[in-house]
Structure 1
Amino acid sequence: MPDLGAVGVNLIYAAMAALTVVMITFIIGTVIDKHRVVDIAWGIGFAAIAVTTFVLSSGHGDTTRRLVVMGATVAWGLRLAGHIAWRARGHGEDPRYEQMLSRAKGSRTAYALRMVYLLQGLSMWFISLPVQIAQYDPDPPNWLFWVGVAIWAVGLFFEAVGDYQLVRFTGNPANKGEVLDSGLWRYSRHPNYFGDATVWWGLYLMAASGGWLGAATILSPLAMNWLLAKKTGKPLLEKDMANRRPGYADYVARTSGFFPWPPKRSA
């Protein structure tokens, strides 16, 4: 059973870690007038929370659990941050943020701080609860913990390979205006988002393997799923793609929206 007092202290320090990352990013985004940099901070923020928890959980949690959970979170977070930074190079502001900030009444900068940066910091803290709780479990890893590690690995595979296939496709001038429907993208319109969600279900199982406190963090992976499938991920991207690529409607008709599944034979 984790030490609840130590976990409570960790929650405060994790919030401070998330706030530090988003505030530094806010300053950078304001100076360069490009708030899409907050997307890079998403993975970095989770990595910062995981490392902060790893340091604070020393003497409280099982060492193997702490190392695996921290390593899995940092590997996921830094890979994602690096990919987004590479993809955004040479581009202007993300249309999603332009649309959001156009609704500001008064200072766009203050609105961005409230509705983009601080909200993202709060989301990081909440979604990272399994990562925090798991590192305070004093018991050695059991079979459910290693099932979580396996699911995390499957998720990272889908996310990393899906991103790589998309980068290669969009980097070829011959594919301009075309729709990627091969590789993992043949089975899901968003294999990278599916992988992202799966990573967090794996981390959740690592936490849940330690008992009721870890199991109680189930709202965290559910929140990540909701963001990816219903809020800021899939819906906004598909709306933009439908406007720019004529063949996208047919692709939508034959391809699973999220969970990988064999495509329909005909649209």
Structure 2
Amino acid sequence: TSLSELPIGHLHTLQELNLGHNSITSLKLPKYFTNMTSLRHLSFFSNKITSISRGDLDALREGNRLNLTLVLSLNNIKSIEPGAFAGIHLAELALRSAFENFMMHTCLQGLAGLQVSRLILGEFRDTRTLQDIERGFLDGLCQVQMDEFVLICLDGVEDDTDNLFNCIGNISTVLLVDLGLEEIPQVPAWSKLKQLECKKCSFEDVPAQKLSLLKELRVLRITQNNGLKNFEQKFNDLINLEVIDLSENRLTFSTCCSPQFQNCPNLKHLNLSFNSEIRLTGDFTNVKNLLYLDLQ
């Protein structure tokens, strides 16, 4: 139930420690973790951790932890004390199916001061327990520095699209997976978003008009949306856009492909494979710099 019971303090070169599917109740890391500078993967997947206190992760504050992945998914976290993650630097933090209902908003505030390259938040398809997501439930992430944010398998997000990007607008990469979103969330005009992926959502139209507000966007992937049929809107003035992947949808449209892209001069990769019916009755003059075209 406690890490202090593990006689592994002499394993200074340990790279991966998988403690999943046990009965660990405390995340308090023993002092010897400060010597495990080669550790790259630390998993507490599916344990019985209910709270994270200030000081529990002190051993991770010493040394370079920029390559460490910390997995806390499938726990039952009810509280994270403010300051518990302050000054912690991680490569990845996974928090899927980790919170009780209505606890997520408060717990995320406890992540303040964390610096992480990739944060994964949400649930698993077969263990969805969160209901009635609070408005602004991601507000606690305003005090977290991250490069990439993954939101996956979370019901109710579609009712809070106006607030979804309030605290993640400055992130360079966002992945929205299996969320039931019917439209793209409102993104602040000051957003620095460079890569956006929407997978297994519920779009009916390619939201080109709203996405055209993301002037820093370089990579866009909208895939595996069974209801996505229409491509009537145009992408406008996205001079940084290089990659568009619209594969594995049910798109049906004609006059491909020049009219859909207005002033997108740097588009190099266009994937329209595995859709319903795309007619090449137009031309490619507006995307003449393409290096990769997939029409399978």
> What TM-score, normalized to structure 1?
0.24
TM-score scaled by length of structure 2: 0.23
Larger RCO: Structure 1 or Structure 2 (Cα < 8 Å, ≥ 6 residues apart)? 1
Larger radius of gyration, structure 1 or 2?
2
Higher strand share: 2
Which structure has greater helix proportion?
Answer: 1
